[in-house]
Structure 1
Amino acid sequence: MKREAAERNPVLFQTDSLEQFTLIQAFTKTTRQQVFDPQLGNGKQINGIQSQGFKRLGTQQSIWGRAKYAQENHKNISWNENKDIEWIYPYLTADSVGGHLTSETYSIAGGYNRVIRRQIIGISASYLASTQFRQTDPRPANNSAELSLQLGASRQINAYRTAIGLVYQNYSQLSSITIKNPHQSPSFYQLIGMGMDQKVLWGKNTTSYFSGHSHGINFQMLPKKQEGVYCILDLKRFYIEKSINNIGSIISAFAKSERKEVALAYRKERSNQALTARIKYIEYERKGTSFLFDQQYSGTFIKIGERQDFNHRVQTLNTAITFLHNFIDNSLVASITPIGVYQHNRMDYSIDQRSWDYKSMAYGMEGKFQKLQRRNRLWELQIGYKKQVPETKNKVFNLILENKGLEALQNQQFEYYTAAFSNYNLTLNYHQALAKSMVLLVGLESNLQYFNGKGYNKGIGLSLGIAI
């Protein structure tokens, strides 16, 4: 859990005994899906390069940074013109044609922490810019930016280090869609959840602006050594609004979200063995409000009211127990982890009584093996298996949508997210010392999902890097 904590709080960033390092890595990943959510597409190709570095400034200070570029090609997306669904859902602009969607993302990040007696203070920041486009009609052009800032402080209390962190994120996106073929006239829809849309905004309202922010607070308690109790508490709140420029930049909808997380773990070490038990609970809820409009004879729109109609709530409980054993003077390390997951997912559109409600159980096993050979060669193998089984799944579509395409979308999404499946994954990493201070890193990862009688989803990724 130390890695999870360090991602939330800059005062917990550490590299053990390393004084400095630099990593440059290229990567590629391909996925193909036979069972999928149409708004996410049936596969993607990702290519990119990233670098990161760390340096200690004496004994009391550390700095680090990273930069990344990635190009993604999302295949056969329909009823959606945007890749940033995590931020803007359910307020997507949809069209009746669809197609591939290409994106380019640039990101930079950096951090600093300083030891002051028994305290550590730290700060980190990141900036991400993305452009998304399509080469055929309809042609979305989405330009988004995301800025994140983290502040943290920690104190050593007996055998434990306690830390508190503050997080702020700001998000914005300008989205527009153009048609170059004069003979093509697809319909566009401003979606507001569960296949519903703002019907008064039908037509050529294809330019939107999204503005959002989130803020949060987190707490960590970690043992100074490996053995002991671990605790992570995390609370984050989020707000985003959508404006449609074609109607005078009027806010058409907004959403508020809240995410809570509690994670506990206990690690016990004995000789060359270790046992770690973990439990994590996550609760996420997003509520959406859409505005009601009246169109005047002049063609202008007047806001006449609002209604909170969309609600999505997910509760997830994860459990895991890891058994670790060191063999032959630590030249071979093996661990095995049984896992269990319970999830309750409910989505409602209250005004027209449309809802999804499903519960699922998942169980599986993860294994990890590290082998150190002569000449500083290190092999790392990770294998995993997980089976998800729905306990209950219910849908209520009292209102049948006028748009049969959106109705079919809702049915396909429900069947995808509530399906039973088996998941198999394998990751193989190889580290080879090339010189006194240079290491070659090669990575391979593969994933296979089998949906009982419905098809396969598969993915494979490769990475190649140099660490100095």
Structure 2
Amino acid sequence: MKFRYLTLLYLPFLGLSSFSLKAQDSLRLFQKLEHQYSTERQLLPQFYHNPASMLGYGKFSFSDLNIGYENEEKKIYRQQEGSGEKNLSIKVNSFQKTNENRSIWGNAGYQNMKLKSVKWNENLDYDRIAPYTIADSAGGDTKLERYSFGGGISQKLNRWTLGLSADYTAQLGSRDRDPRQKSTTSDLYINLGANYRFYKDYEVGVFGQINKYTQNTSISFVSELGQALMYQMTGFGFSNYFFNGGSPAAIYEEFGYKTGAQVFRNSKNPFYLTGSLSQAQNLKSVNPSNRYFDISDLDKTIYEVEGAKFFNINQHRLGAVAQYQAHIFTGAEYGYTNNTQIIEPLYKRKSYKKEDYQTTVKLMYQYQADRFVAGVVPVFQYQEFTEKRKYPFSGQKFTAYSMGLETFYKQEITKNQMLSLSAHVSQKHINSGVNAINTDIKSNIVDWLMQDYQYLTSGYLQMGASLRYDIQLQNLPAFYVLGSWKQARIQEKNNNFTQIILGITF
């Protein structure tokens, strides 16, 4: 039934793709897929935040329908994120170049997941709402279903290019043992963009995005004996004592926006420069007595800058990408009193701040031959992370850098068969790490906080590889099978990830 639902969403794109297939019949399978899964395009995640720039996402139309299975087993992990997951997914996506002046795209997906051994967190989207989660020491496995769909259009009008897109994701998380968590989320993004060609093939663009996010979480118990104490966390193991306990219900409401600008050149030797500012506020309310009380809010500010340059030297393609991100989260707590007949607010004070700065540089070398493509992407990243709270004071910080190398090779076997191989290795080093974690709390919470700090400040060696085989039979779409493996060695133990995907592309 879920598969049929996704197919119905996808039917319009199947119809549109039929117009472009005729124009692409002369292309070999190798040419189609090498363009569809371009390494260069994957290096520019921020540039395509502007839906107007999606006009040049690809020269040709392409679509993909796949079923995937993932299994992750972690021996070293953050307890609030779990020890791994099992994930079954169905996904469809399509990019259609209807003509030289218009592109449309769409996607839909369903995932059925099991998050294993989640502890000290009874919510979904931990990184989005932390530190203001509901937590307990019991935890357990969480079942999660996720639905997503979206699409957009980009239209060129003389020197102008206009774009519009929307994306929506809904989740349902639950647990069938005490404490019985039930969480639902909805997440809607709407994007507008406009580009203007001001000189030859040089363009300047602006874009804007609004986002509305909601999470509802409730906790219930079947057993009346031995119930775990539920904490309304406020950071570093501290909690709002006034609203702790019971079978809590909480609502997280977030509204945000994003604005940005870019300048770029569309040519054989393009360059891109994109900058954006995002701001949002996440307000948490709880319902202890048939009335909701605001107990915290989290202000988020994110700066992003991305620049890239690519050029050709005969059959050699070279490029450089630089990215900078600054995530600054500031939290405030509300205080209440019940000394009177009703619960009354006493104060609101800023008490939490997290800053995460990351600078990333990627280089690309690619050799393009008639029947194969090979290349490497060296990566360097530097990170500064600080997290602290007041009343009482507690904090931690670290600096780190990582270096990595990604390689890829795509080979045409015959006119209707292709093999793709990729591999990567990276290593993270911790320059310095300091914690001033307040231990004047319960010992089991202190153990959790110290384990979390050790995880965040641990270096690692990560490696992985993937292998994909594509074949196109007569009068049928191209079928493919993809297998991936990844391993991260942390604190002398291994975390493993495996994936297999079966799909069709056309």
How far residue 178 of structure 1 moved from its aligned partner, in angstroms, is: 0.6
Matches of residues 223-262 of structure 1 in structure 2 within 5 Å?
223-247=265-289, 248-262=291-305
Corresponding residue of 1:457: 495
How far apart are the structure 1 equivalents of 2:268 and 2:70? 34
Number of the residue aligned with 1:414: 453
- Output the CA distance in 2 between the equivalents of 1:100 and 1:374: 46
Q: Counterpart of 1:246 in 2: which secondary structure?
A: coil
**TM-score after normalising by structure 2:** 0.88
> Could you tell me which amino acid in structure 2 is paired with residue 52 of structure 1?
N
Residue of structure 2 equivalent to 1:428:
467
Aligned to 2:372: 332
Contact 1:75/1:101 (<8 A) preserved: yes
Distance 1:179 1:302 in 2: 29
Distance, in Å, in 2 between the alignment partners of 1:54 and 1:12 is 13
Q: Unaligned 5+ residue runs, structure 2? A: 1-39
Which residue pairs with 2:207 in the alignment? 165
Structure 1 residues 437 and 279, CA gap change in structure 2 (3 angstroms): same
Show the counterpart of 2:194. 153
Match of 1:65 in 2: 106
Structure 1 residues 325-369: Cα deviation after superposition (integer angstroms, max 9, x where no partner):
123x3x121111222111110000122221101011111211111
Q: Map of 1:59-458 to 2, 5 A cutoff?
A: 59-156=100-197, 157-204=199-246, 206-247=248-289, 248-296=291-339, 300-327=342-369, 329=370, 331-397=371-437, 399-436=438-475, 438-453=477-492, 455-458=493-496
Tell me the percent identity: 20
Structure 1 CA distance for aligned equivalents of residues 471 and 63 of structure 2: 16
**Matches of 1:366 and 1:22 in 2, distance apart?**
26
Q: CA deviation at 1:318?
A: 0.8
**Structure with more of its chain in strand, by fraction:** 1
- Distance in 2 (CA, whole Å) between partners of 1:54 and 1:267 is 23
Is the CA contact 1:2–1:222 (under 8 Å) kept in the aligned structure 2? no
Equivalent of residue 49 in structure 1, options 81, 85, 90: 90
The verdict on how the C-alpha distance between 1:39 and 1:452 changes in structure 2, with shifts beyond 3 A counting, is closer
Indicate if the aligned counterparts of 1:5 and 1:12 stay in contact, CA closer than 8 A. Answer: no
CA distance in 2, matches of 1:90, 1:194: 8
Equivalent residues, number:
462
The equivalent of 1:39 in structure 2 is 80
Question: Whole-Å Cα distance in 2 between the matches of residues 5 and 153 of structure 1?
Answer: 15
Cα deviation, 1:290-313, whole Å, max 9, x if unaligned, reads 111223475x53211121111000
Task: Report the Cα distance in structure 2 between the residues aligned to 1:380 and 1:369, rounded to whole angstroms.
Answer: 6
CA distance in 1, matches of 2:184, 2:458: 34
Kept after mapping to 1: 8 A contact 2:207/2:259: yes
Q: Provide the secondary structure at the position in 1 that maps to 2:455.
A: helix
Q: SS where residue 435 of structure 1 aligns?
A: coil
Cα RMSD over matched residues?
1.7
Q: Which amino acid aligns with 1:275?
A: L
Deviation at 1:240, TM superposition (A): 0.4
Residue 284 of structure 1 aligns to a residue whose secondary structure is strand
Asked if the contact 2:249–2:286 (Cα under 8 Å) also holds between the matched residues in 1, the reply is yes
Deviation at 1:57, TM superposition (A): 4.0
Paired with 1:316 and 1:374, the residues of 2 have a C-alpha distance of: 43
Higher helix share: 2
Which range is displaced more, 164-173 or 261-270?
A: 261-270
Instruction: Report the Cα offset of residue 451 of structure 1.
Output: 1.4
Distance in structure 2 (CA, Å) of the matches to 1:40 and 1:198: 22
Which residue identity does 2:298 align to in structure 1?
A
Alpha-carbon shift at residue 401 of structure 1 (Å): 3.3
Give the unaligned 5+ runs of structure 1.
Answer: none
Identify the residue that residue 69 of structure 2 maps to in structure 1.
28
